[in-house]
Amino acid sequence: MAKTGLYLFTQDLRLSDNPLLLRAAQENDYLLLVYAVDPNHFKPKAFSLKRLGQHRWRFLLDALDELNHRLRGLNQHLQLLFDQPLRGLSQLIDQHQVGSFYISEQVGYYENQLIKHLQARFTDLSIQQLNTQRIWDLDEIPFSLSQLPGTFTQFRKQVEQLKIESAFEPITELPPSPKQGSLGLQELPNSSQATQPLTTGGEVSAQAHLAEYFSTDQPSTYKQTRNALQGRFQSTGFSPWLAQGCLSPRQILQELANYEASKKANESTYWIFFELMWREYFQLYALTYGARLFHFQGIQGRKPLTSFYPQRFKAWCEGETQWPLINACMKQLKATGWMSNRGRQLVASCLVNELQLDWRYGAAWFEQELIDYDVGSNWGNWQYLAGVGADPRGSRHFNLEKQAALYDPDGDFTRLWQGDATSGVPLYSVDAADWPFLSSGSE
């Protein structure tokens, strides 16, 4: 009897360095290639924010379109499932009598809940997973998840000397899709509101950027330029493609090793690896702590002295605070779906410390807006900065005036994004009895 498998693409939208897709191709006579788009991700959730905003949706659509084009070259195609994933996938499994279900190892709590529900519903279904998103497989690291080091430094010291496997070659052959009942393209939300795209999604675009970056001398000065608020190649720029899996960390590290062997190895080139280890740590962090990644008290069980003030949050989101550099960063994010790493630290510190807001709202805003949103890195970093995560020293409080003098001394970035175009929403207004109340907007 012919074997039919279903491969669910998630954060692995590529044909190269994809060992799980290779396994699925080898084990089946027919193969369904599916990407599930949950309609609920376009609706406001607990924080009155969407899980999937226009910028990330536009980048994701680029990546899906490019993946489908490449699959067509192998006589296959991508089927977009615009439905609640459990319901839609269950229908496909029943309809095609799927025997094996393939999905990359997930680090997100909700993604792993989906896998558990599918296994409970289809007890005979073989669910197969491999690591396609991290540098190391779980059996390669020298500790169990229950013993994940409590700080990044402890983690780094245990893993930085580990062997890094070579990336897999691109897949050149796939079994056909089942003919009957093929899922057609469905009506999807548009991305017309994404006004200033910085780059395009997809594996081809990712590989082009990878090659171009390592053809320059920028890797040799990365540590000195990585905190720049803006500028092509000041940082590596890999994160949007990493987040969607158009590019793997092993592919980056392979090119980095080639660069160091042929051009130069120094502290800056090491720092590229250093930053990828941070990403690795937060991937394992998300997998270890599950739903606690989203808790107000974080993994520390420590309640920040913050609350929620709608007026302040709105001002922060719109870039209408009292701090011009914060405004510029937030306006850049809203216009492009991107913000520098330094900018992210500063706006997070502002939200938690100056505005005294619940850090989860900031994390949820980033989830909606960032094209490089990644569940582990985003929520893990916000916990870190709010003092409830993997930093025993507590929250990180930046002096915003000092940071502006260091990273935007001439005000060029602030002027570019019109950060000083508003006098800022006051933190408090008062009534006739001089009691503070929260105003509904700017005054």
Specify whether 155 is located in the same domain as 207: yes
Residues 95 and 11 in one domain: yes
DSSP symbol at 436: E
The one-character DSSP state at 293 is: G
Residue 196, domain member (yes or no):
no
Strand partners, 37: 82
Domain of 101, CATH number, reads 3.40.50.620
Structure tokens at 303: 């309640």
Residues in the chain: 443
Same domain, 321 and 368: yes
The pLDDT value recorded for residue 244 is: 97
d(CA 9, CA 396): 36
Which of 412, 387, 411, 415 shows the shortest CA–CA distance to 401? 411
Residue 99: what pLDDT?
98
315 and 276 within one domain: no
- Domain residues for the domain of 335 are 310-417
Would you say residue 378 lies in a domain? Answer: yes
Helix (H) or strand (E) holding 72: helix 54-72
Shared domain check, 144 and 50: no
Sign of CA dihedral 133, 234, 338, 364: positive
Q: Is residue 316 part of a domain?
A: yes
Residue from 306, 376, 314, 372 nearest 343 by CA: 372
* Cα–Cα dist 128/130, whole Å: 7
How far apart are alpha carbons 89 and 107 in whole angstroms? Answer: 20
Contact 389, 298 (CB under 8 A): yes
118/85 Cα distance (integer angstroms):
10
In a shared domain, residues 142 and 240: yes
Task: Judge if 272 and 391 occupy the same domain.
Answer: no
Interatomic CA distance for residues 363 and 352, integer angstroms: 11
Helices 341-349/400-407 angle, 10° precision:
160
Q: Are residues 5 and 123 in the same domain?
A: yes
| CA separation for the pair 58, 78 (Å, rounded) | 17
> Three-state DSSP class for 338?
coil
The Cα-based distances of 124 to 94, 97, 101, 393 in angstroms read: 12, 11, 11, 48
Verify that 116 and 215 share a domain, yes or no. Answer: no
Residues at the binding site are 222, 235-239, 372-374
Residues 6+ apart with CB under 8 A from 191: 54, 57, 58, 61
> Is position 301 within any domain?
no
Within a domain: 304: no
Helix (H) or strand (E) holding 19: helix 19-27
Question: Is residue 86 in a domain?
Answer: yes
Sign of the dihedral defined by the CA atoms of residues 183, 171, 137, 31, in that order: positive
Q: What 3-state class would DSSP assign to 36?
A: strand
169 within some domain: no
Are the C-beta atoms of residues 132 and 102 closer than 8 Å to each other?
Answer: no
**212: CB partners within 8 A, 6+ apart:** none
- The tokens for 6 are 């279903």
Q: What distance in Å separates the CA atoms of residue 276 and residue 156, rounded to the nearest whole number? A: 11
* 238 and 290 belong to one structural domain: yes
433 falls within a domain: no
The structure tokens listed for 197 are 């795209």
The confidence score (pLDDT) of residue 1 equals 82
Supply the pLDDT for residue 234. Answer: 87
Residue 390 is predicted with a pLDDT of: 87
Chunked in runs of 10, what are the mean pLDDT values of the chain (443 residues)?
96 98 98 96 88 94 95 95 96 96 97 97 98 98 96 97 96 90 56 62 96 97 94 90 98 98 97 98 98 95 89 95 96 95 97 96 97 97 94 79 96 95 61 46 31
**Of 233, 261, 294, which residue is a domain's last?**
294
- Spatial separation of the C-alpha atoms in residues 114 and 233, rounded to whole Å: 38
Say yes or no: 103 and 125 in one domain: yes
Encoding tokens for residue 442?
């700017």
List the structure tokens of 126: 């073989």
Pair (226, 249) in one structural domain = yes
Do 132 and 20 touch, CB atoms closer than 8 A? yes
- What's the number of domains the chain is made of? 3
Binding site, annotated residues for FAD? 222, 235-239, 372-374
